[in-house]
Chains A and B, each alone.
Chain A
Amino acid sequence: MKALGARSAFYVGLVVGTCTMYVLLRQVGFTRNVGSVEPEAHKKSMLEMVEEENKNWKKERLALFNLNHPHHTGEDGTLADALYKHVRILCWVMTGPNNLEKKARHVKATWSRHCNIVVFISSVDDPDFPTVGLNTKEGRDQLYWKTIRAFHYVMDKHGDEADWFLKADDDTYVVVDNLRWILASHSPEDPVYFGRRFKPYVKQGYMSGGAGYVLSKEALRRFVVGFRTKVCTHTSSVEDLALGQCMEKIGVVAGDSRDTLERETFHPFVPESHLTGTFPKTFWYWNYCYYPIVQGPQCCSDLAVSFHYVDASHMYLLEYYTYHLRAFGYKYRYQPPEPSVIQDLNAPAPDKVEIGDIEEKLGAEEQEGEKKSLEQNEKL
């Protein structure tokens, strides 16, 4: 009797155990991902990335020189390429030794790849990254010193290699192709600078530092001369305001960077804030903007140039939204006009003149202009 009881208890246990475990497993789902077969696209190793970087970038004299304008599979980039050749932009990024890994690295991996030349401005030379060390310390009170020295540095080392000179922070995201669209309608020989225009303190207004601003070659020349002749000095550490005051003194015009629908292109905050946020009435922003503030979708141009307070993951998000994610076949509501300089380059050649000749002619005109303003500067 005892033996029978034990044996049947064993079998009952066996059955109960099996059933319980089966039910448990079914409940857990035991799901397997059919769709997660690793796609053919392999993960890039660091070595492969370095190799590719060497193909596209030349590291020289503590700057990065772009050899190939980045292209995307399946796209027609001829218009962007034409602008890339004609509107050469040197981007200098304000950073520091403590922020290289946290912030500047992501700038290097994303938007700065679209500049013609990139210089990372720090307080310490780093030939590897590369960064340029100016003779300054770190800290908010050093910002204008850094800016003054940075502009002098790029004029000195790279003045002939670019037409426009952009300043950005390491938490600014810039769509360089859209900056070229704006600048293509202006001459680098004009004394002008562009950014998000603020109105207080300076009659013609000044440009927000965080949203980034760009100086024409003539504006940069005058800035350097201004310091040499002491017309401009280090007046305060509030970099954007102090620079704006200097610009007004040296006759550099504060430009209007809005698109043809009068929508802002340079933005002092992240897209979410401009598109959906409602700034409180007491917020300083309301009193600062030179042009009327628009909140909601019309805050921002389709061809936005910059956003600020962009952290690392946000940089990649914006890169994905700008250069990668799109809606197939979608006809954009905003059809921006082609800058006239491109139309000139593409115009049917009169008298069977080669396109190359027209470019040469434009180049010669530029040189004429350069000579003239050099003479003017010397007179100053």
Chain B
Amino acid sequence: MMSEGSSFMKGLILGGIFCLVMSFFETFNSGTHSEGHEHLHHHLKPVSKDELQKLSESQMSDWTLQVRVYCLIMVTPKLLVHWATANDTWSKHCDKSVFYTSESSKALEAIDLQEQDEWARLRKAIKHAYENAGDLRWFFVARPTTYAIIENLKYLVLDKDPSQPFYIGHTEKSGELDYVEYDSGIVLSYEAMRRLIEIFKDEDRCPERGHALWKTPEEKQLATCLKYTGVFAENGEDAQGKGLFNKKSVSSLISDSMGQNPADVVEACCSDMAITFGGMSPSQIQVLMYGVYRLRPYGHDFHDSLTFLPPNDSDND
């Protein structure tokens, strides 16, 4: 009896250690291979200023039309305050913004998908958006806890062809899978959407309801389905390599930078052309609106080659 028990324990411990060692080994291997893998994990940057200046007027106006964005904002009544804030602020800068909810709320308008499961809801929203896109070719999926500067999103995808598959955001890795983090917003081109709609029909590779014991987050399920169609996640960053998609708030990022780079807090912190921030309260977002769209030092001009006009129906930008 004793010897069996102790043998079992020995086996258990050895098995665990064996597995741990294998995993670390795998990580280190992937680490050294990362140089090679980097080229697959694209770093997507905006078009350079020089390139922009070379463009003709007609190319400019073509690009202005092509770069219009359809925003899918995935809300629930639990997030009512954030929903209202998104409705009142950044969503007005999308060319079309649609709120998709799990259940309807009397306070705010949305498309009621009547679906509690997040992945199923996301699929329905994507299908609806694709069918109602009109001539919009870029799609931005976010929760209302995310704040987005849509003009900077347009700047990032300005010279990218939406009839090519693009799946952009802040990328993370889970095992072998690269996925775009949901909390900092997901950008999809028209072609990526089209391929998604196709693979949604494949119940084996891209099931609507998973059968696993534990639930895989939607962001990973999305990445897996896209991977089957040959679409891979790309990390959105500026010309200096700074990430454009953030899930932290501005003040949180500033605090981090004060700790890590006290000599150069603002330069080292965040990109000038940042696209998203997360976890900000409604009043912090009003300050952010003021900071992005209004407050500026007189006499410092950026002669951007494109112009985006303010939306018609707001007073805080």
**Do A and B originate from a single complex?**
yes
Interface residues of A (CB under 8 A from B): 2, 5-7, 9-22, 25-27, 29-35, 37, 39-41, 43-46, 48-49, 72, 74-83, 109-110, 114, 175-178, 180-181, 271-272, 275-277, 296-298, 300, 302-304, 312-313, 316-334, 336
- Contact (A39, B241) CB under 8 Å given A9-B4, A46-B263, A328-B152: yes
Find out whether the CB atom of A6 lies under 8 angstroms from the CB atom of B155: no
Find out whether the CB atom of B306 lies under 8 angstroms from the CB atom of A33: no
Q: Apart from A25-B20, A317-B254, list 15 A-B contacts with CB within 8 A.
A: A33-B173, A35-B171, A37-B241, A40-B241, A75-B300, A76-B300, A80-B300, A276-B286, A297-B315, A298-B315, A321-B295, A322-B295, A328-B304, A328-B308, A330-B308
Q: List 16 A-B contacts (CB under 8 A).
A: A5-B4, A21-B19, A25-B19, A35-B243, A39-B242, A44-B267, A78-B299, A80-B300, A83-B298, A271-B287, A313-B255, A322-B295, A327-B149, A329-B307, A330-B310, A336-B298
- Residue in B41, B301, B307 whose beta carbon sits within 8 Å of that of A79 in the complex: B301
Count of chain B residues near A, Cβ 8 A:
94
Find out whether the CB atom of B301 lies under 8 angstroms from the CB atom of A76: yes
Minimum CB–CB distance from B244 to chain A (whole Å) comes to: 10
Find out whether the CB atom of A332 lies under 8 angstroms from the CB atom of B298: no
Find out whether the CB atom of A303 lies under 8 angstroms from the CB atom of B298: yes
Find out whether the CB atom of A7 lies under 8 angstroms from the CB atom of B264: no
- Contact (A297, B290) CB under 8 Å given A77-B299, A79-B299, A322-B297: yes
Find out whether the CB atom of A320 lies under 8 angstroms from the CB atom of B171: no
B10 surroundings in chain A (CB, below 8 A):
10, 13
**4 closest A-B pairs (Cβ-Cβ)?**
A13-B11, A17-B15, A321-B291, A80-B299
Interface residues of B (CB under 8 A from A): 3-5, 7-20, 23, 27, 30, 38, 41, 43, 49, 149, 151-152, 154-155, 170-175, 178, 214, 233, 235, 237, 240-243, 250-251, 254-255, 257-258, 260-261, 263-270, 272-274, 282-284, 286-310, 315-317
B38 surroundings in chain A (CB, below 8 A):
37
- Contact (A320, B175) CB under 8 Å given A11-B11, A330-B308: no
Q: How far is the CA of A318 from the CA of B288 in the complex (A)?
A: 10
Find out whether the CB atom of B264 lies under 8 angstroms from the CB atom of A44: yes
Q: How far is the CA of A288 from the CA of B282 in the complex (A)?
A: 28
